[in-house]
Amino acid sequence: MRKFFIFLLIWISQNLSIPFWMVGHVHLMLNIYKDIHEIMISVGMNIIVAIGFYLDYKQTTKKDNG
């Protein structure tokens, strides 16, 4: 189950990072955050992507050093 969760995080970070960031940046430019829930969701999505990038980096460096 742990390996699946790691795979899921990496998959999300690789496939959804651009939509998360594009939508987030456009949303930030057009709206003023007044709701803490919107801020927390935006931060949460960016944290998920950052964790996925880090896990993928660890796996890639482990394979290269093999």
Mind listing the pLDDT tens digit of every residue in the chain (66 residues)?
888 988 888 888 888 777 777 776 666 666 666 677 777 777 888 888 889 889 999 988 888 786
In a domain, 66, yes or no: no
Looking at residue 34, its pLDDT comes to: 67
Put simply, whether the predicted model's pTM sits higher than 0.85 gets the answer no
- Domain count for the chain: 1
Looking at residue 60, its pLDDT comes to: 87
Looking at residue 35, its pLDDT comes to: 72
Question: Residue 28 belongs to what domain range?
Answer: 9-61
Looking at residue 26, its pLDDT comes to: 66
- Distance between CA atoms of residues 9 and 55, nearest Å: 8
Q: Contacts for 3-10 with beta carbons within 8 Å, 24 or more apart? A: 6/55, 9/48, 9/51, 9/52, 9/55, 10/52, 10/55, 10/56, 10/59
In a domain, 56, yes or no: yes
In a domain, 4, yes or no: no
In a domain, 24, yes or no: yes
Per the CB < 8 A criterion, the answer to whether 45 and 20 are in contact is yes
In a domain, 3, yes or no: no
In a domain, 34, yes or no: yes
